[in-house]
Structure 1
């Protein structure tokens, strides 16, 4: 580890009251969930990074549960089943509250960048640190707060954190761009296939006379 890096623990880099587990089920009952309003962040929002919401609450309930409010740069982490997946709340994300299945971490930005903390938990080391502290034979659940706050991490100076985040961010942008390109090419390939072999557009919408329909077994050996 470089000399200007420090070895610390998760609990020491969080803001005051920066460790928030989702509310108990009795605090947010199913009959209080609505089809519109202020969204409830669920486990899939941490696992997949999506922002499509199933459940909402009204303003009155939100004020009652304001302790569980999400804010920009908060980290949300899945707490059971598919454990340890992390997403960061972006500036454009709607305000909401976390569900019982999430852990919210709020970084002390004087000592650690939220994005650096996100990359740590996205790494093999950070992910294993959470999973190894979890328990449950049927449904795996995140460990108690005291154990999670003792997760060790190497802490570079802020200026080095910024450099690391910027470098990884460029790579993330390239990956996202390549994913979009691949998706576009896949859609083009599907459209061309449909045009030629389903709709027969190049042949006036009719299958050519010298073509015939066959079965998969005629051209391949199927091994189950």
Structure 2
């Protein structure tokens, strides 16, 4: 029985087997592959300030953008005419981070590519979008790179060898269909990433404007209907300590991630949690909060999170766990700890010696004594709801991006041979 050359996933109307060809048969016969010029041809002393001719670098292929840093004279541009980039060309990184490939878009500035790039130019029988995704697939990326046994370094396969590869590709019609599918996925990913970045920027801006600056009692921006000045207080006036547990060790075991939010550690800790370790955990209930007083990506002096997605959970005793009273809203307190207000107070404790072995060592009493400034409970609740909605939007786009990236990775594996 003859084995057919077909991928795991195909379009329903695709009936023609994928065909074996030489890699060079996909490329322009005259300018299929060209490495950048010798470094001496584009030394920094040749760069000029004012010119309409630019130099494309390895970062353009790696990060898939076409912003440039350097310019050359018109004379130098024509001297290096063999290295001119045109829309529809491909550039691939050839040193350091190797094998990254990008499709040159319409509307780029006139320019040449430098010695760290390789230009590929396909022929009319090769769909550009298909070629881009095919070259980015894990199978081709592995094939393009190889380890040097002597140094364990990853090197790009010589282009002279690549041109002679036997590769298996579909008809132009199927190439176009595959290319269109991945272009649609990429456009959707870009849209979701733009939306995510916009909402993250909005949250950062609102955090800086919806809480009073140092020495002030009203924020720069307020939600409609609120006018009264915020009141100075201490955290202990609006919260009390939560500690101990009731002996149950079969609850979710959570830690506060350095990048934000709760992480369920039950798989990691379940085998180690026994009766003798009960003293190491605090039982936290929904609506209660914990402060991890270790440096994190979110806050220099630690971070606070409210328990929302679990009814009950175990958290490390070293965290300062607490519950707010009727004067405060839990979500508002969590959000407040994302601002500079607590950092100013916690920073005073750290500078006065609250460190141990290079880590923060802020006691619970000192933590509860930090000065805060809060509005009425109604305004706290409104602010908490505002940021909860923003967080839900941010989480929604993060999940969509993860789902699309997982789908794309799966299709890249299953739609190519």
Secondary structure, aligned partner of 2:292: coil
- Alignment CA distance shift 1:187-1:211 (3 Å): farther
Deviates more, 1:63-72 or 1:29-38: 29-38
Report how far residue 36 of structure 1 moved: 3.5
Shift of 1:56: 1.1
SS at match of 1:187: helix
Q: Does the CA-based 8 Å contact 1:80-1:139 persist in structure 2?
A: no
Give the one of 219, 231, 235 matched to 1:208.
231
Pairing 1:52–2:67 present: yes
Contact 1:76 1:103 in 2 (8 A): yes
Question: TM-score scaled to structure 1, two decimals?
Answer: 0.86
In structure 2, relative to structure 1, the CA distance for the partners of 1:221 and 1:30 (3 Å cut) is closer
Q: Distance in 2 between matches of 1:31 and 1:138?
A: 35
Q: In structure 2, what is the Cα distance between the partners aligned to 1:164 and 1:46?
A: 22
Pairing partner for 1:113 from 127, 131, 147 = 127
Query: What TM-score, normalized by structure 2, do the two folds share?
Result: 0.48
> C-alpha deviations, 1:157-207, integer Å up to 9, x for none?
111111111111111111011001101111111122112335333487975
1:20 and 2:34 matched: yes
What pairs with 1:32-181 in structure 2 (closer than 5 Å)? 32-37=46-51, 38-109=53-124, 111-132=125-146, 137=151, 140-181=154-195
| Structure 1 Cα separation of the partners of residues 159 and 228 of structure 2 | 65
Q: Which residue of 2 aligns with 1:6?
A: 19
The gaps in structure 1 that reach 5 residues or longer are 213-217
For 1:123-176, what per-residue CA distance to the aligned partner results, in whole angstroms no more than 9, with x for missing partners?
111211111277984975433222222344321111111111111111111101
1:215 corresponds to which residue?
none
Q: 1:95 Cα shift?
A: 2.2
Distance 2:119 2:200 in 1: 37
Worse overlay, 36-45 or 140-149? 140-149
Give the greater-gyration-radius structure (CA).
Answer: 2
Change (3 A) 1:124 1:71: same
- Contact 1:135-1:141 within 8 A present in 2 as well: no
Structure 1 residues 139 and 59, CA, compared in 2 at 3 Å: closer, same or farther?
Answer: farther
Which structure has more relative contact order (CA 8 Å, sep 6+)? It is 1
Partner of 2:294: 222
- Provide the rounded CA distance (Å) in 2 between the counterparts of 1:205 and 1:100: 64
Asked if the contact 2:146–2:156 (Cα under 8 Å) also holds between the matched residues in 1, the reply is no
Gaps of 5+ in 2: 7-15, 214-218, 236-289, 296-358, 360-417
Contact 1:35 1:54 in 2 (8 A): no
3-state DSSP of counterpart to 2:232: coil
Q: Which secondary structure does the structure 2 equivalent of 1:210 belong to?
A: strand
- For 1:140 and 1:27, the matched residues in 2 are separated by 26
Give me the CA root mean square deviation. 2.7
Instruction: Specify whether residues 22 and 195 from structure 1 end up closer, same or farther in structure 2 by C-alpha distance, changes over 3 A only.
Output: same
- Cα distance, 1:207–1:24 mapped onto 2, change above 3 Å: farther
**Does the Cα contact within 8 Å between 2:147 and 2:153 map onto a contact in 1?**
no
Q: Go from structure 1 to structure 2 and tell me whether the alpha carbon gap of 1:92 and 1:161 turns closer, same or farther (over 3 Å shift).
A: same
Distance 1:122 1:207, change over 3 A: farther
Cα deviation code 1:97-135 (max 9, x no counterpart): 1100000000012x2112211111111112111112779
Call closer, same or farther: CA 1:152–1:198 in 2, change over 3 Å.
farther
CA distance in 2, matches of 1:96, 1:107: 19
